[in-house]
Every structure is written in structure tokens, then in C-alpha cells.
Amino acid sequence: MLIDSHAHLDDPRFDVDRDDVLQRAWDAGVRKILTIGNGSGPDQMGCGIPIAEAHEWIYTSVGVHPHDASQVEERHYCLIEKLSENLRVIAVGETGLDYFYDNSPRDVQREVFRQQLRLAKKLGLPVIVHTRDADEDTERILREEAPPLGVIHCFTSSARLADFALGIGFSISFSGIVTFPKSQPLAEIARRIPLDRILVETDCPYLAPVPHRGKRNEPVYVADTARFVAALRDISVDELAG
């Protein structure tokens, strides 16, 4: 059974053919999708709920992306709590730190990240972590806040961060980036992550894997990433999927 552990099915690029996109994924053996509840900002973090409610094999999360951290008001933390009452909501996020784009001030990103980690702990939900060019602060905040469960999504960080994440009980999720020719160091990390801690994702509509690179990504392509990671480890896709 294939699972796309991170998708953005609410993205406007799917508006013209969302049903067809989901049908292609189902036909290819994708049986679970987690569509991320960030939307275009904190007020839209419930964007995945209607999609998840319409499809029993799709789930969603709620949270604030680090790009949008500067827009957060106290009411948005209350909104996370309220939306998480919906049974289709199974995680908080994605949240984290992005020091590559710095769309929000770094101190604001750190505080909003902390608050969402605390909410995840309070709600008993896993957290979906985004980190880019911010390994040191990501590790420090995760160590200090100690969320009970989570995943580093679209992993492109160091072996050190991977080892730290595994040590606190997190999983590691690989996107199509792992299939890119220049991602050999990332492939080496994917080769050694314990099978029960490795996830694959599309992060669609972004980051389509080889051989679809440059196209709009969609959940059906998670199969390509799964095949690539399975080949790295010299196992079958079925073994990878568990």
C-alpha cells in the first residue's frame, strides 16, 4: 500500500482536475494521502478538511507554515485547537523554520514553531516539520520542546539532523528531491534510515521526481519516489511500504 505522506491538494493548480488527480493516484495503488492544512495563510489552515471529508482515504493537518509566521495572531492558535477536533485532522503542521527564503523574521518563525509544538503535545497529535537551512535551530527547539511524535518532511538536511530526529522518535520523509542526480548525499541517508521510520511524499504540486521533473507533481508520482528509494536499499516497493 502506497502512502503519499505530504501533499497540497488544495493548491489552485489542482482546481481544474482534482478528481482526475485522485483517481490516477488510486489506480496506481496509492491508498492514503495526507493533504497539508496550511493554505495561503493562517486563516486558511482548514483548507484540507473539505477534501478529507469527501474522501475516506485522505486525511489532513492544520498549522502555520514558517513563511506565514509573521501573520500569526493568538486567535490562530485557538483555531488550530478548534480545527483539530475534526476527526479527519491527524497532525499539526507543516510548521518549522525556513532560513532560505526568510519570508518571516527568524525570531518570529522560532516562536510560532515553538507554540505549534506545544499545541501538538497538548492535543496528542504528531507534528509535521519543515526545515530549510535551519538545522541547528530546528534541532535545538525540538530538543527543548520534546514533541511526542513527528516527521521531518521533504528531508534535505544533514545526516546529523536525521540521526537526531530518529533519536527522538521521529520519522523521515523523502520527496522527489531524492531522485535528482545531484542528491547523492541525500540518497545515502535514505539508504540507511530504518524501514519503520521512512516515509515517501510528493509535496505536490511541487518537486516532481525523475522522470517527471519540471511537470506539476501529483500523488500518483509518489510511486516513482518509492521505487527509487526501494532500489537504493535493494528491496521491493512492497517491502518498503511495509
Instruction: Enumerate the domain spans of the chain.
Output: 2-241
- The per-residue pLDDT for range 176-207, each reduced to its tens digit, is 999 999 999 999 999 999 999 999 999 999 99
Q: What percent of the chain has pLDDT over 70?
A: 100
pLDDT at 47: 98
> What pTM, to 2 d.p., does this model score?
0.98
Contact 172, 165 (CB under 8 A): yes
pLDDT at 242: 82
Tell me the three cell numbers of residue 241.
Answer: 511500504
pLDDT at 213: 97
The CATH number corresponding to 2-241 among 1.20.120.10, 3.10.129.10, 3.40.50.1000, 3.20.20.140 equals 3.20.20.140
Q: Which amino acid is present at 115?
A: Q
What average pLDDT does this structure show over 95-107?
99
pLDDT at 221: 99
- The per-residue pLDDT for range 64-79, each reduced to its tens digit, is 999 999 999 999 999 9
**H helix runs in the chain, sequence order:** 18-27, 49-54, 74-83, 106-123, 135-145, 159-167, 184-192, 222-232, 237-241
Higher pLDDT, 148 or 112: 112
